[in-house]
Amino acid sequence: MRANMLPTEDFERDPSAFTDRVTSDGRYGRVAEPGRYRLVVSRACPWAHRVVMVRRIMGLEEAISLAVVDPLQEVIDGEPHWVFSEGNGDRDGKDPVLGIHALREAYLARDPHYTGGVSVPALVDVATGELVSNDYDMLSVDLATEWGDLAREGAPSLYPELLREEIDTVSAWIHRDLNHGVYRAGFAPDQEVYEDAVSNVFSRLDYLERRLAGHRYLVSDHITLADLRLWATLVRFDAVYHGHFKCNRRKLSEYPVLWAYARDLYQTPGFGDTTDLLHIREHYYYVHTGINPSRIVAVGPDPYGWEEPHYREALNGEPFRGDTPPDPVPENERVTDLEFQG
């Protein structure tokens, strides 16, 4: 996720610049091994959030360490950058493991001539300090499928082979109409592009309202990567996309089925306990000066709504279906209490 994108043309997301894969057998040159890699994320970013959720659900906290950048960013050489501050790094504003202040240092360690964008999530090789990958989709898939020997006992199958075609199909239209669609609306350069994007966003939400009325989860009777990819957008919808990105035909909380589905997942380990609504609001409203030049950060909505009963247990399905939920979040990775997120 990059920031401060100006509404000058129809929004297009930059392709991932570095796409090395880390696998159990090292068939692409890098082997999954404990302590070798560090995952750098922003808790504001939906693309990074899905990777954090996979890491947590699979129980990979000890295998892959986590670094969280400051949500407000810092202008370096005229461009906003993801950086570590005293609150997210050491007293010198550096990551205590990688020893860097700005994430771009890992990009430049990989390619000293790199001039492209710097985005999260970023998997960094601790031994060399070099960026390995900023491919959020493949990072999610590989953490779900290639780190099995290092995953916790009882970890679920988030990307089972028999369901991969359906998961990929569902994920494709979720990406087009929702994950990407809200950004098309928020950074639309003109009324026509904006209205087209908003129409697609709400047509897809209307469809999901019907689809999930009789099914607890998107693809199967347990959570899969499709649910994580959708939920990363849903949890941000009322907080930032509804107002900040002008996706204001309806709120998520005005969709009875979708709102219950979203609360169900929020209350499932790996979802709500990796979500920081304060980071989300601060980043979007403060950094996107092209659409919010005042940098006034919205105070709502009330975060305690996420803890209301959802009653989705009546539907067929269980989040981990025979497997077990992850252990409590490690002390050093706990997010801000809801009391301070509202």
How far apart CA 117 and CA 79 sit, in angstroms, is 10
**Residue 15 pLDDT:** 67
Does the pLDDT at position 225 exceed 90?
yes
Catalytic status, residue 284 = no
Does the pLDDT at position 11 exceed 60?
no
Question: Per-residue confidence at 12, pLDDT binned at 50, 70, 90?
Answer: low
* pLDDT mean over 262-275: 98
Chain mean pLDDT for the chain: 94
- One-letter-per-residue 3-state SS of 77-104: CCEEECECCCCCCCCCCCCCCCCCCECH
Catalytic entry in 37, 107, 159, 183? 183
Q: Taking the CB of residue 82, how many other CB atoms lie within 10 A of it? A: 26
Does the pLDDT at position 3 exceed 70?
no
Asked if 22-150 and 161-340 have one fold, the answer is no
- The CATH class of 22-150 is alpha beta
Does the pLDDT at position 327 exceed 50?
yes
Does the pLDDT at position 339 exceed 90?
no
* pLDDT mean over 52-72: 97
Question: Beta strands of the chain (E only): which ranges?
Answer: 22-23, 30-31, 37-41, 64-68, 74-76, 79-81, 122-125, 131-133
Nearest to residue 1, comparing CAs of 202, 11, 163?
11
Annotated domain spans of the chain: 22-150, 161-340
Residue pLDDT, tens place only, 17-49: 899 999 999 999 999 999 999 999 999 999 999
**Residue 125 pLDDT:** 98
**Residue 98 pLDDT:** 97
* pLDDT mean over 103-124: 96
Catalytic status, residue 45 = yes
Which CATH fold topology does 161-340 show? Glutathione S-transferase Yfyf (Class Pi); Chain A, domain 2 (1.20.1050)
Residue pLDDT, tens place only, 153-212: 999 999 999 999 999 999 999 999 999 999 999 999 999 999 999 999 999 999 999 999
